[in-house]
Amino acid sequence: MAEPRVATIDGKLAEEFAAPSHVEELKEQMAAFAGLHGAAGRKVVLITSGGTKVPLESRTVRFLDNFSSGRRGASSAEYFLDSGYAVIFLHRHRSLYPYTHTYSGINLLDSLQLQTGGGVSHESSQVVVSQQAFPNIAKILSRYQEVKEAGLLLPIEFSTLSDYLHLLKAAAQALSTIGSKAMFYLAAAVSDFYVPSSEMPEHKIQSSNGPLQITMKMVPKILSPLVKDWAPQAFVISFKLETDSSILIEKARGALDTYRHQAVVANVLDTRRGYVVVVTPETQAELILTEDDVRKEVEIEEKIVSNLTEAHSLFITKHHG
Ligand code: PMT
């Protein structure tokens, strides 16, 4: 008799993807965070953000990566916090981060000034930040400190595909205690292919051996056990990225049919900052940044989060009356 699908994925995770050493500790942190905020009547969103690194050697010199900057996740986190959610931010190490993401292109040293106050020692001098170089810094810093002091943001880092898969599973189990108050917002760009550890060379692949041919296996679709088994009451949003806009909606609908979750945010690589479609089994909403929005520095994530938080409230009412 065939084994149930979840057992297969759990088995695969254990056998072929090394778990980060501190996964149990992080799971406890996430469970405590969810329990605390759930008890305070707050909704909790788990945001995944950034790309994943797929190693080609055990002592990794080379790896495959992807384009994702993590801006979608970082910016969305801020709007969820503004909407009263507590946020677990499961993000790729060194990808963009809430509240600092707007300053990512700035050269820090070019934006600071040294005021020496007449003395010769550097210890007695002051470093002054130019507000021109960091637009809105006072407002953003004040909001960041407010969020931090209220304990509303729990950042968790991953680096490799293996870290991501194990931490997402841990997060799903940790959030299962708050049922429909949990939202999963899966904006990370996860690799679909990997080299199993059993087939990975230990040492650096030698170029003296000639051209490289690699066969990669398919990464198990983690959305399946997440929706069916690990957090079956949660409100789950996946993302669908394509480069060919003509297949985008069909692919998003295909994902909804396969995984039976609540919505897919569909986007095309080149236009993702100004246009997305939120697809649900019954509806399809196009969200667009107008020229006026761009002038006012409105971000598309504000519209995505507004659409989804409203749908989440309806979902909770429908499930718990
Ligand atoms: O980070 P930015 O530069 O701001 O870009 C944002 C973004 C384009 C990365 C984001 O908007 C986005 O589209 N993220 C998802 C990209 C993606 O991986 O799409 P996909 O079609 O390959 O995967 C679809 C969904 O399947 C994902 O939500 C993922 O959670 C899920 N999946 C993927 C692989 C896997 N092994 N298991 C999964 O469950």
Q: Residue 314 falls within a domain, yes or no?
A: no
Best probe residue, ligand 1, of 158, 217, 239 (max atoms within 8 Å of C-beta): 239
Q: Is residue 302 part of a domain?
A: no
Q: What is the pLDDT of residue 16?
A: 87
Tell me the CATH number at 36. 3.40.50.10300
What is the value of pTM for the model shown? 0.94
- pLDDT score at 182: 98
Whether residue 52 is contained in a domain is answered as yes
pLDDT score for 121: 72
| pLDDT of amino acid 93 | 96
Q: In the chain, how many domains are there? A: 1
Q: Please report whether residue 196 resides in a domain.
A: yes
Q: Is 246 among the domain residues?
A: no
Tell me phi and psi for residue 60, to 5 degrees.
-70, 120
The per-residue pLDDT for 6 is 43
Determine the pLDDT at residue 119: 64
Closest residue (by CA) to atom 18 of ligand 1?
A: 189
Q: Which ligand 1 atom is at minimum distance from the Cα of 237?
A: 28
179 Cβ neighbours under 8 A, 6+ residues apart? 233, 234, 319
CB contact set of 49 (below 8 Å; sequence gap of 6+): 68, 70, 72, 73, 74, 77, 89, 90, 91, 92, 95, 96, 187, 188
Write the residue with the smallest CA distance to atom 20 of ligand 1.
240
Of 105, 102, 96, whose CA–CA distance to 51 is shortest? Answer: 96
pLDDT number for residue 130: 83
Residue 85 lies in a domain: yes
Pocket-forming residues, ligand 1, beta carbon under 6 Å = 68-72, 186-187, 189-190, 192, 219, 221-223, 238-241, 267, 272
In angstroms, rounded to a whole number, what is the distance separating the alpha carbons of residues 124 and 118? Answer: 9
Half-sphere exposure of 54 (CA within 13 A, CB side): 19
Rounded to 5 degrees, φ, ψ at 114 are -100, 125
Atom of ligand 1 nearest to the CA of 242: 21
**CA nearest 270: which of 245, 235, 239?**
245
Domain around 9:
2-103+127-241
**CA of 259 relative to ligand 1 center, distance in Å:** 14
In ligand 1, the atom with minimum distance to the C-alpha of 71 is 4
Q: How far is the CA of 95 from the centre of ligand 1 (A)?
A: 15
Q: What is the DSSP string of 89-108?
A: EEEETTS--TTTGGGTT--G
Going from the Cα of 188 to the center of ligand 1, the distance in angstroms, rounded, reads 5
CA of 184 to the centre of ligand 1 (A): 13
Q: Is the dihedral of CA 76, 53, 224, 177 positive or negative?
A: negative
Quick one: which atom of ligand 1 is closest to the CA of 238? 28
Query: Is residue 34 one of the residues assigned to a domain?
Result: yes
Residue 173 forms part of a structural domain: yes
Instruction: Give the Å distance between the CA of 209 and the centre of ligand 1.
Output: 35
Per-residue pLDDT tens digits of the chain, which is 321 residues long: 444 444 578 888 888 898 999 999 999 999 999 999 999 999 999 999 999 999 999 999 999 999 999 999 999 999 999 999 999 999 999 999 999 999 998 998 988 888 877 666 777 789 988 888 888 999 999 999 999 999 999 999 999 999 999 999 999 999 999 999 999 999 999 999 999 988 999 999 999 999 999 999 999 999 999 999 999 999 999 999 999 999 999 999 999 999 999 999 999 999 999 999 999 999 999 999 999 999 999 999 999 999 999 999 999 999 875
pLDDT at 123: 75
To test ligand 1's pocket by mutation, which of 12, 92, 190, 259 has the most ligand atoms within 8 angstroms of CB? 190
